[in-house]
Amino acid sequence: MKIEVEENLPQMDTKLDFYSASRLTGDATSEDLETIKRHTSVYVYETPVRLWHWINALAILTLCVTGYLIGSPPPTMEIGEAAEQFVFGYIRFAHFAAAMVMTVGFFGRIYWSFVGNHHSKQMFRLPIFNRHWWSEVFFELRWYAFLEKEPKKYVGHNPLAQIAMFFFMTVGLSFMIVTGFTLYAEGLGSDHWLSTLTAPVMNLVGNSQVMHSLHHLGMWAIVVFVIIHIYAAIREDVMSRQSMVSTMISGHRTFKDDRPE
């Protein structure tokens, strides 16, 4: 053990003690020192993916809050004459602006899944014909049901997370974008190109009020996802064998142990 340390720190005294190690790495013990010498991180989330994640999170937060208020407006405000105040108008504006940001971001994310690294594709495709992947899905289910003592290591999303991402983000956001823009097109008028584009969706649903209800339920599905997502990220950060929260900030997945499996 000591020999390795000496190799990496040639300027050090051959008789390396606890204090000389701690000069370099704070309160690191010699055991820690051995670990940090290994390359234990993988670059998973590239900059565009991380940027998208946080922009998307902010946009979704804005959309949920303003969207809820559009369905259940705040109490009447009498700041001035109707012509002088635009309270509800601004709420709707924020909703539409955040929707545009989210949509552009989503299309950017889809683009990146083609040019980005291997992990950037995970959210958009489920390897449902891969038996091994399914076995890992069930392993993860058992892990969350407290039936497995130790989780597996994953570089990207674990299979269960991948399923959640696929259905709530890829499918969910697509659903919200389609229904949302169909509703938005109503305000633009029936002769607008967006109305022509979304006409099949409106015809399928038949009634704009139903479309509102569907869009509303979609929001709650995303709220449910957000709760699970944040909980799972924090829980895995604490209990799993790899980093979680910081990975979406730095892009690097770091591992807590050296065992390959």
Name the site residues for another protein (rule: CB under 8 A): 68, 71-78, 82-89, 91-92, 144, 146, 149, 186-187, 189-191, 199, 202-203, 206-213, 216-217, 219-221, 223-224, 227-228, 231, 235, 238-239
Question: Residue 177 CB, nearest distance to another protein (Å)?
Answer: 18
Question: Residue 148 CB, nearest distance to another protein (Å)?
Answer: 11
Question: Residue 167 CB, nearest distance to another protein (Å)?
Answer: 14
CA torsion, points 210, 106, 172, 249, in degrees to nearest 10? -140
How far apart, in Å, do the first and last CA atoms of the chain sit? 24
Is residue 251 within 8 A of residue 50, CB to CB? The reply is yes
Nearer to another protein, 167 or 220 (CB): 220
Nearer to another protein, 68 or 124 (CB): 68
**The tokens 């389609």 sit on which residue?**
178
CA distance 229 to 247: 14
Nearest to 211 by CA among 235, 242, 237, 175: 175
Nearer to another protein, 68 or 166 (CB): 68
Question: Residue 236 CB, nearest distance to another protein (Å)?
Answer: 10
DSSP state of 152: P
Nearer to another protein, 120 or 198 (CB): 198
